[in-house]
Structure 1
């Protein structure tokens, strides 16, 4: 039986295919003979309790010099449970519409669709806060909206990082030192005058050696990380903020951190995760749309997306043994 894979992602015509991890997944799935179906986030809907979507059949090409790297067919309204796998690869921020989409996808999951990552876990695992489940693997961290606590934290640690809980790509991250004359306005801006929680962490000088992205498939780490090296004068290693990606083998500490979080990832149905590590510490656990597949593939001759598809096929086989056929 041909596997039917749907993907919910931001507009495919706006991606950079040579570096896009979702596109890598589509290429790998198509190479394995899957039928591909494309959806925007607002294409998902519900009729009388039946999860549906306005889908388009999709074909993709690995042609870096060809702007026509995909082909979409006419839209059709179809039940989501006609698909075997749905990848939800919408970029943050995690807003109310994203939340509603996960609820609809959870209904599809109950009908036997393998949703990657698990909808409930996408709701539960804020990418900043989820890391605090493993506080023994983190540097000193505070989450609060209270200005006095943030000021005390800066005074205690002298050199800190402030960041919002709902941003991505290094957006709105501030390095704040004790005595910074802008401390009050930074706190007011990030917390909206005490209305929103933010995260404060002790600054890690190891950022100069890179903010490492480690990819895990069903809890198993890819053996190489992408160290995202900040530009000179920059505190953020994110590629979106101009960081330079340098691949390197996992260290023993990296492997220990992965082993620490792996059982939780598996239990929560988080099939594909990006673990961010600076020095010896976890800083974030990315679950919505982790990237860096293309960079690691290019530097080490890997096919990470194909590894993911192999594991998802295995999960479908395991699911078929436990459940009667749906098609």
Structure 2
């Protein structure tokens, strides 16, 4: 089977940590062909979605581009959308084209509709019983009032990833107003403000979920003095067993994930609180599987196997 991975520019992907490359290795180990393209390389002609695709060259220490071809997505068994945020106009245009491919029978994971309409920072708000107290606003007064009530809070942009733009706010801090001003672009941009959750471990858990079922978990520990648990900013990571809390939260999310066409997600938890649901390009497979980066990992193979079960 031919599998198309829609990825960020390949030279930005780190083979030691990138989950897309881990899935490609799992695909080739199973005898499938992994092809790569960027979203900008999609086009529509006579109702067919085409991609200027390259064979994924996994022989070296980085992801290389093999022979180029114009690929009709009708001839692809599964499209895996693995492009990092932001979900901007360029990204949205690509999902519109992927709609045509999906309607012609090519499975797309995650679904174009989900990628358009499921904001990774806001989706968790559909589950108010699971999340920390949260405010979404561009108002400095409203945000400062929430910080005063909670003592400490985390401010996040709605359209970033990897800990970018995430700020820790504390009541009484002399630069609180300035931080809110920066975060909201002087009141022009809504942000997510969550009550700070401290379970005493300075860490969070990333749970990888396929078809609504948890398959593996990873503990990410912040690199002091930073409070952010993102691996992109230096947090360390190690696999951990799935807990009863992990399974219970995933069971609650499962109907909504399946209903939206979200086949693969990364759910972030602190203690028993749901923080985020990542669907654009969930990471953590390499850290969970470990081993030489040239090999296909057990969990990456399990994720791919379950995704392929729904492909034609």
TM over 0.5, yes or no?
A: yes
Match for residue 157 of structure 2? 164
Instruction: Show CA shifts across 1:129-174 (max 9, x none).
Output: 0111111110100111111111110111111111111111111111
Conservation of the 8 A alpha-carbon contact between 2:3 and 2:78: yes
- Residue 203 (structure 2) aligned to one of 201, 210, 228: 210
Match for residue 231 of structure 2? 239
Match for residue 298 of structure 2? 303
Conservation of the 8 A alpha-carbon contact between 2:214 and 2:246: no
Match for residue 321 of structure 1? none
User: Are 1:60 and 2:58 counterparts?
Assistant: yes
User: Are 1:313 and 2:305 counterparts?
Assistant: no
Shift in CA distance, 206/110, structure 1 to aligned 2, threshold 3 Å: same
- Alignment of structure 1 residues 161-200 onto 2, 5 Å: 161-200=154-193
Match for residue 23 of structure 2? 25
What SS does structure 2 have at the residue aligned with 1:135? coil
Higher relative contact order (CA 8 A, sep 6+): 2
Q: Separation in 2 of the partners of 1:31 and 1:282?
A: 34
Q: Separation in 2 of the partners of 1:217 and 1:198?
A: 29
Match for residue 109 of structure 1? 102
Q: Separation in 1 of the partners of 2:149 and 2:63?
A: 52
Q: Separation in 2 of the partners of 1:181 and 1:79?
A: 57
Match for residue 39 of structure 1? 37
Conservation of the 8 A alpha-carbon contact between 1:161 and 1:174: yes
Question: TM-score, normalised on structure 1?
Answer: 0.90
Q: Separation in 1 of the partners of 2:217 and 2:269?
A: 9
Q: Separation in 2 of the partners of 1:261 and 1:78?
A: 35
Match for residue 249 of structure 1? 241
Q: Separation in 2 of the partners of 1:126 and 1:94?
A: 9
CA RMSD of superposed structures (Å): 1.7
The count of corresponding residues between Structure 1 and Structure 2 is: 308
Q: Alpha-carbon deviation of 1:268?
A: 1.4
Runs of 4+ in 1 over 6 A off after TM superposition: none
Q: Separation in 1 of the partners of 2:143 and 2:49?
A: 44
- Residue 136 (structure 2) aligned to one of 138, 143, 146: 143
User: Greater helix percent: which structure?
Assistant: 1
Residue segments in structure 1 that go unaligned for 5+ positions in a row: 318-327
